[in-house]
Amino acid sequence: MNPNPIEELRKFVSNDDFTKLARIDNRKLYSFVLEFINLCNPETVSVYDDSKEDIERTRRAAIENHEEAKLAIEGHTIHYDGFHDQARDKKNTKFLVPPGTDLGPELNSIDREQGLAEIREIMSNIMRGHHLHIKFFSLGPANSPFSIPALQLTDSAYVAHSDNLLYRQGYQEFLKKGSEARFFKFIHSQGELKDAVLGLKVSKNIDKRRIFIDLEEETVYSANTQYGGNTIGLKKLAMRLAINRASNEKWLTEHMLVMGVHGPDNRMTYFTGAFPSMCGKTSTAMIEGESIVGDDIAYLKNIDGKTRAVNVESGVFGIIDGINPDEDPIQWETITTPGDVIFTNQLVTEDGKVYWNGKPGKVPENGVNHSGEWYPGKKDADGNEITPSHKNARFTFKIDTLDNVSKEVHSPEGVPVSGVIYGGRDSDTSVPLKVAFDWAHGIIMYGACLESETTAATLGKEGVRVFTPMSNLDFLSLPIGKYIQNNLDFGKHSTQPPDIFAVNYFLRDKNGKWLNLKNDKKVWLKWMELRVNSEVDGIKTPTGLIPKYQDLKRLFFELFKKEYSMEDYIIQFTIRVPENLAKLERMEKIFKERVTDVPDTVFRHIAEQKARLEEAREKSGDYIPPVKF
């Protein structure tokens, strides 16, 4: 008879920690923990519950283990990833798939048995001399039809500390569900460490960095990396697991913010929104005067015919670039006052203050950052200038610390969704704001056909226009065609599917000048709120409905006391026919050559939009001002 794994675990943990494990009636959990303690061979092991004492213990460990260092402001710490470990590693992030499984050419995969053998070899004794943290979380609010329990094993106190800020504690969920818990599993090791600045340690063996995702066992393996996108398993790695589960259960896991926009007479209207990294997602979710529910990942379900959504997380892992008190007052308040905040890959001056790119005031003359000792004009080995703060530098904090957090942020029932927003970096094609003709048109033309110019959030070149359906290509765990069909089907099961909008904060004129200010998005949000409540009309164009000038003029004045000119309206909302047709050609080529099992309706919608654009061009030319419609 096989020994009871819980009894085997007794020799690795203290009596108190053994009791914490034994209270959870789940043999599968015991077996998983025992397997990876034996494989990874940590020196010591701790088990954490939901107590404040255990949460604080994790935070202290991050400092004591030299993964974070204290900053001048109380509660603030700095963490550095290695110089070449500061973005998601797409190349080495792979799905483990059994023979005969095809996820399509866009998804990186490896034979499951081969991948398991490789990752087990890499993880063998990888935690020697390290401390293993065993932690329990809930993806989505606790006691909710949305919630998924999650088990995290990591030898990084920084990752454990980040998880505590980003996710709801889940030990009680495991106790309640016991042997019935269908939980996600995460095993991470930062691997062998080397010295970095401020006495901190970073992952050494980046050549052996691996992030493997096993959909069959709903398990994520991560090794030889510290960067949050590769290691904070409950974030985008768990998202891949959830997309697969959602596909099987007919709901959606999306790369979306969730927010409430305030309307007339104290009305609150909720939106979700999908934007690639560094495309305005967090700044939209946190916009002053509105209410944030979440800034990154959402679960959406049709409940009693109505679309509802929750924030999977309970914290913010945001890019910090140009944040200032005038344009970002809510974020500024949180990251400049005492509290539990982790800064990652910024410049730190001698007095313990942190500087990020674009922070108000003079750029420091020196300090330390991810490259070591820093000074203005410092260059890397390829001759590229090293900025004070890395372009993908981050901050991490609890969402409840924000002044504009919604009272529904932890609601087990979620919030009713009236609108879905898609946005990306588009310098020359789409107008700043439009609304789809119907659910299918929006899902296909705004979601499935989403392109965005690349940023520093992923390894590789910046400024390249890439295909990123629903802003989710990097995180899909099923073929793109099936994912699109799932989204189309989801709308069919709602008695009143949300309206679908597209926004573009990055449109430029022919001289490269931005056509909108950073906070113009406030106006777009207010117009969308009025639109879903049937209080404003739109002008029909070949690509969707756009706002009327008088409505935007009124909103600009109400919000900013600004006179919004007809000239600005015309240049912003002119339909650029050649660029739109070129995009449709790119999309048609992609769907024919790179995507399998594309729903026929995708090609039909592309053809119909082409026809509308061609007809408009025959009547009004290549560049059609809104007053022509």
Burial class (CB in 10 A: 0-12, 13-18, 19+), 612: middle
The closest of 79, 68, 121, 112 to 94, measured between CA atoms, is 112
Q: Rounded CA gap, 233 and 148, in Å? A: 13
CA-CA-CA-CA torsion sign (572, 573, 577, 579): positive
Q: Rounded CA gap, 288 and 284, in Å? A: 9
Selecting among 127, 279, 319, 450, the annotated active-site residue is 279
Residues in contact with 95: Cβ distance below 8 Å, sequence separation at least 6, in sequence order: 103, 107, 108, 109, 110, 212, 213, 214, 215, 240, 477
Show the tokens assigned to 216.
Answer: 């069959």
DSSP string over 41-67: --SEEEE--S-HHHHHHHHHHHHHTTS
The total of other beta-carbon atoms located within 10 Å of residue 200's CB is: 21
The total of other beta-carbon atoms located within 10 Å of residue 508's CB is: 13
Q: Rounded CA gap, 329 and 162, in Å? A: 23
Q: Which residue has the tokens 């709308």?
A: 491
Any bridge partners for residue 252, and if so which? 300
CB of 499 closer than 8 Å to CB of 435: yes
Known active-site residue 279:
yes
Q: Rounded CA gap, 435 and 421, in Å? A: 9
The total of other beta-carbon atoms located within 10 Å of residue 14's CB is: 13
How far is the CA of 273 from the CAs of 69, 270, 405, 422, in angstroms? 35, 10, 17, 6
How far is the CA of 56 from the CAs of 60, 61, 157, 189, 234, in angstroms? 6, 9, 11, 21, 20
Q: Could you list the active site residues? A: 279
